[in-house]
């Protein structure tokens, strides 16, 4: 009794002194201690929320997500879009389809369009440039975000010149031995990192991130992820729990831990106060209130789906993905309600990163 009481007091004071450090730059030991504690979550989330409100107020930015191709030439072992998954029904949206998603999104108040897809060789640089410049011409007041994987620096430059200003490319894991367990040997962590630094050098607002609880991940791997993010200083940081996909080699691995994901959102908010951090669909998939809790832990972005309902189920990165039966209008109003109920403001602002 006496003993557990002492431990509690010691731990609480350690937490308080740790969080009083501004800027918050924890050591490896401090990080692994903090991530393993589950009794301080509400305090940690409040601190993260206060930091987020200092930089971004109560605003939650919207990104309209257009999943325009589920073809992928790669074979990441965790992902349902992997080329070797023969059980998935493949689709590509045409330029007209994509533009009509944008039109619908614009009418719903979205001022950012995220074009996301697998690494699909059908979409050559010329085609991407054409799509990006058409969206840019039609919606000059909107931000265009690309999330189409690893490309040559010159291609990234061409997309930028066509009007793209943001790019999402999660590094997935920054530990080389862990990277090799998640990817075939044809893929390389060094190349992925190089892409991220190329994107930054060109002038994109860059988003990176990783899955929480991916197979074989250790606390040391997560710390390496955080250290990599410190070296990259990304504008956006996307993390979400790993979720089992039953048609992948990792089908027998369990989902990542929800609480640990929230704790990591809070830690990232404290360490990267300026960052745009989404409450991801994966978070909403493993817990019905996941996105709301993500916002309360420090996230400030939501990414409602703008893809045509007919293709949504086919973008089966992981099992039981939410929003696959709902349309764009439904998701828009569902998320507005969720954001408001969580105590935040649903913002139709373009939502650029604050200076850092």
What residues line the site for ligand FES (CB under 6 A)? 304, 323, 326, 330-331, 334-335
Which residue among 31, 48, 60, 81 contacts ligand SF4 (CB under 6 A)?
81
What whole-number distance in Å separates Cα of residue 258 and Cα of residue 265? 11
Asked if the peptide bond before residue 258 counts as cis, ω within 30 degrees of 0, the response is no
End-to-end Cα distance, the chain? 47
Strand partners, 301: 61, 278
Q: How far is the CB of 341 from ligand 5AD (least distance, A)?
A: 25
Query: Judged by CB, which is closer to ligand FES: 155, or 330?
Result: 330
Residue count of the chain: 356
Q: How far is the CB of 186 from ligand SF4 (least distance, A)?
A: 11
Q: How far is the CB of 205 from ligand SF4 (least distance, A)?
A: 20
Query: Judged by CB, which is closer to ligand FES: 95, or 337?
Result: 337
118 binds, among ligand SF4, ligand 5AD, ligand FES, none (CB under 5 to 8 A by kind): ligand SF4
Q: How far is the CB of 169 from ligand SF4 (least distance, A)?
A: 9
Residue 265 near residue 299, CB atoms below 8 Å: yes
Q: How far is the CB of 255 from ligand 5AD (least distance, A)?
A: 8
What would the x/- binding string for ligand SF4 be over residues 138 to 167, using CB under 6 A? Answer: -----------x------------------
Q: Is 74 in the site for ligand SF4 (CB under 6 A)?
A: yes
Q: Which residues bind ligand 5AD (CB under 6 A)?
A: 78-79, 170, 172, 211, 240, 242-243, 245, 282, 317-318
Q: Give all strands (DSSP E) within the chain, no chain letters.
A: 59-62, 64-69, 112-117, 143-147, 166-168, 205-212, 236-241, 301-302, 345-347
240 binds, among ligand FES, ligand SF4, ligand 5AD, none (CB under 5 to 8 A by kind): ligand 5AD
Q: Which of 18, 81, 29, 16 is nearest to 219 (CA)?
A: 29
**Residues whose CB falls within 8 Å of the CB of residue 323, separated by 6 or more in sequence, listed in order:** 281, 284, 304, 305, 312, 331
Q: How far is the CB of 119 from ligand SF4 (least distance, A)?
A: 5
**Residues whose CB falls within 8 Å of the CB of residue 27, separated by 6 or more in sequence, listed in order:** none
Binding span for ligand SF4 by CB under 6 A among 12-20, 74-82, 254-262, 289-297: 74-82
Residue 39 near residue 279, CB atoms below 8 Å: no
Q: How far is the CB of 293 from ligand SF4 (least distance, A)?
A: 25
Binding span for ligand SF4 by CB under 6 A among 8-16, 79-87, 232-240, 348-356: 79-87
Strand order across the beta sheet in which 59-62 lies: 301-302, 59-62, 345-347
Query: Judged by CB, which is closer to ligand SF4: 210, or 344?
Result: 210
Query: Judged by CB, which is closer to ligand FES: 77, or 309?
Result: 309
Query: Judged by CB, which is closer to ligand 5AD: 56, or 272?
Result: 272
Residue 107 near residue 76, CB atoms below 8 Å: no
Joined together, the tokens standing for residue 311 give: 């293709």
Which residue in the block uniquely carries the two structure tokens 């990176």?
Answer: 208
**Residues whose CB falls within 8 Å of the CB of residue 154, separated by 6 or more in sequence, listed in order:** none
Q: How far is the CB of 136 from ligand SF4 (least distance, A)?
A: 25
| Positions in the binding site for ligand SF4 (CB under 6 A) | 72, 74, 76, 79, 81-82, 118-119, 149
């Amino acid at each position: 009794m006496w003993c557990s009481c002492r431990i509690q007091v010691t731990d609480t004071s350690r937490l308080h002194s740790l969080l009083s450090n501004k800027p918050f730059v924890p050591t490896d030991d401090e990080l692994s201690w903090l991530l393993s504690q589950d009794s301080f979550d509400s305090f940690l989330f409040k601190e993260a929320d206060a930091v987020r409100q200092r930089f971004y107020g109560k605003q939650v930015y919207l990104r309209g997500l257009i999943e325009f191709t589920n073809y992928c030439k790669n074979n990441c072992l965790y992902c349902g879009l992997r080329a070797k998954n023969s059980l998935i029904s493949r689709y590509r949206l045409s330029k007209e389809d994509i533009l009509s998603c944008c039109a619908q999104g614009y009418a719903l108040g979205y001022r950012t369009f995220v074009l996301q897809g697998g690494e699909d060789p059908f979409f050559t640089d010329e085609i991407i440039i054409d799509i990006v410049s058409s969206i840019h011409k039609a919606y000059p007041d909107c931000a265009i975000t690309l999330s189409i994987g690893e490309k040559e620096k010159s291609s990234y430059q061409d997309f930028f010149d066509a009007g793209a200003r943001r790019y999402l490319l999660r590094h997935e894991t920054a530990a080389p031995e862990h990277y090799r367990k998640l990817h075939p040997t044809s893929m390389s962590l060094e190349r992925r990192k190089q892409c991220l630094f190329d994107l930054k050098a060109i002038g994109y607002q860059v988003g990176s991130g990783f899955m929480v609880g991916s197979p074989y991940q250790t606390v040391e791997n997560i710390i390496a992820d955080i250290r990599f993010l410190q070296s990259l200083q990304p504008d956006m940081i996307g993390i979400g729990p790993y979720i089992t996909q039953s048609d992948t080699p990792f089908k027998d691995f369990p989902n990542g831990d929800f609480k640990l994901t929230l704790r990591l959102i809070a830690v990232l908010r404290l360490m990267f106060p300026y960052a745009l951090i989404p409450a991801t669909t994966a978070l909403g998939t493993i817990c019905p209130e996941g996105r709301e809790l993500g916002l309360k832990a420090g996230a400030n972005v939501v990414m409602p789906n703008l893809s045509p309902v007919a293709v949504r189920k086919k973008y089966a990165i992981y099992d039981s993905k939410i929003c696959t039966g709902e349309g764009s209008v439904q998701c828009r109003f569902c998320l507005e309600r969720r954001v408001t109920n969580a105590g935040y403001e649903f913002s139709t602002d373009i939502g650029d990163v604050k200076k850092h």
